Chain A
């Protein structure tokens, strides 16, 4: 029902897949289905395996939420891909990641139903030194979609709709794409997700989604708001204007690039019809959510900085090229 690549040209990065088993059973009046997603970020694991586990679980559940799955009934799987467990540092990191999984499961109220692990992923270099791979945890998640006809995709559906950002933004550039790109990785920490607070926010967002108040939803993960908004825009082939000053934030952040690329967990960007804004505000009462922008017909993503000047203006064509070229470039 919902395929991994979405949008007009079927090439945008969807959050999760929705499967409708009754297409095969022939019970065409039964529209129950389920969604499958994942969360992964080895860059966080290099900094803090415990926080990686929390953040990956958070991302997997948010991905489910973005297609309209009932995350209060979600189940998780852990997939460890780890180095040499005879190395105390590697084993310690593995234990920390497992503790993160436990706390994430308890905090989100989602059980781990299975998993898989692959240890001893290491190579020995010419001098005989054992090199382990970066400890990587993939969290897979699945949850029921009560009515697959109400499922969502992440592409912008039309011009003139409001864009709402759900969740606080803090200065979370540790392990981020921004740091990888700019080469700054000093003593910063990986972002810390708060499962209990996130679970409450997700539940409220699910309420809004199931009422049909939201046109499209996408999670903020690698690359933060900037990448999230760009993906939604070029997949739906509509532009957007964003105002960074409107972002819900707790700590004092005075830099546009931090706001735009910070990877604080538990955040979502929602596209909402302007007529539904009041209903959305009611559904999200008590949750940090604010209108940060508007979709436009012009194929341009325009971001206004804290000083009121244009911080970023890029054509969707350029953004899409940048996004699509990254993988072939990495693979050489």
Chain B
């Protein structure tokens, strides 16, 4: 069977590219780590790939805001990203990758044809870098292709200093709710929408991940590539029932989607 080709795009300061590529390789994809400059120079073509992943890290040292420079580069030089999304190919932004998707105007899905930034990220309410495991509730109404077969509640690690999602207006939040774009929310261990520490950054409506209404483009602050084996969970020595890391399932869904 054909192995879907995955582009794991990286820029200066990206540091989760290896783990993201490994996750795709583990579930039957062929991941290539491609540097942003290769895309800019035309030496790599986005359309040659089936899946695009924007991994986490500190692209360009977070100068001018987390992911801002990388987002501008993508806006200017990766013109076929919108087509890539429109064609229904899976796009996954993790951590810094999510910030880039938002700042490049890919998420929340824009109304107009111009890539316009309609949301943003600011520093965590706690005022510090939050690196720990959180409970997440997936939107079961969402048509997100990455979530097939996943339970409603999962755990993943977060690691970010600027993860508080802010929206342009309260109306935008209503819209996101209506078109089922809120893919994941931070919750307490019993599934309630509560504040800090369960919501690690103070994100509006506890939003941890956004997708486009079609469900093929997902941006998420938590790191699924850091939960690919059950032994990465902080409590794995107590868990006798877990077979594999739940994070791997997101990558598998993307790969399976391309195969079918």
Contact surface of A with B, Cβ cutoff 8 Å:
1-3, 5-8, 10, 20, 23-26, 28, 148-149, 151-153, 155, 157, 216, 236
Contact = CB atoms under 8 A, between A and B. Distances in A.
Contact of B231 (A20, A157, A236): A20
Interface stretch (B15-23, B38-46, B202-210): B15-23
Nearest to A27: B22
A184 B135 CA distance: 47
B92 to A, nearest CB: 18
A149 B236 CA distance: 9
Q: Is the interface of B mostly helix, strand, loop or mixed?
A: helix
30 contacts: A1-B231, A1-B232, A2-B237, A3-B234, A5-B234, A6-B234, A6-B237, A7-B235, A8-B235, A10-B132, A10-B133, A10-B235, A23-B22, A23-B226, A23-B228, A23-B229, A24-B18, A24-B19, A24-B22, A25-B18, A26-B18, A26-B22, A28-B22, A28-B229, A148-B231, A149-B231, A151-B237, A157-B238, A216-B237, A236-B238
Nearest to A26: B22
A5 B235 CA distance: 10
Contacts of A216: 237
Contacts of A149: 231
B25 interface: yes
Contacts of B235: 7-8, 10
Contact of A157 (B228, B232, B234, B237): B237
A62 B133 CA distance: 28
B12 interface: no
B242 interface: no
Q: Is the interface of A mostly helix, strand, loop or mixed?
A: loop
Given A7-B235, A148-B231, 8 more contacts: A5-B234, A10-B234, A23-B226, A26-B18, A26-B21, A28-B26, A155-B237, A216-B237
Contact of A8 (B132, B226, B228, B238): B238
Contacts of A151: 237
Question: Which one of B19, B26, B237 has the highest number of Cβ atoms from chain A below 10 Å of its Cβ?
Answer: B237
B138 to A, nearest CB: 22
A1 B236 CA distance: 9
Contacts of A10: 132-133, 234-235
A26 B25 contact: yes
Interface in B193-227: 226
**When A and B form their complex, which 8 residue pairs have the shortest distance between CB atoms, in order from nearest?**
A26-B22, A153-B237, A24-B18, A10-B234, A3-B234, A1-B231, A149-B231, A28-B26
A146 to B, nearest CB: 14
B19 A152 contact: no
A112 B237 CA distance: 31
A120 to B, nearest CB: 33
Question: Which one of B25, B229, B231 has the highest number of Cβ atoms from chain A below 10 Å of its Cβ?
Answer: B231
A152 B237 CA distance: 7
A149 B235 CA distance: 12
Contacts of A155: 237-238
Contacts of A6: 234, 237
Nearest to A3: B234
Nearest to A10: B234
B232 A23 contact: yes
Nearest to B18: A24
Interface in B130-164: 132-133
A28 B244 CA distance: 13
A20 B236 CA distance: 14
Contacts of B132: 10
A44 to B, nearest CB: 31
Contacts of B18: 24-26
Contacts of A26: 18, 21-22, 25
Nearest to A67: B237
Nearest to A154: B237
Contacts of A157: 237-238
B67 to A, nearest CB: 22
Interface string B20-39: 01100110000000000000
Nearest to A5: B234
Contacts of A1: 231-232, 236
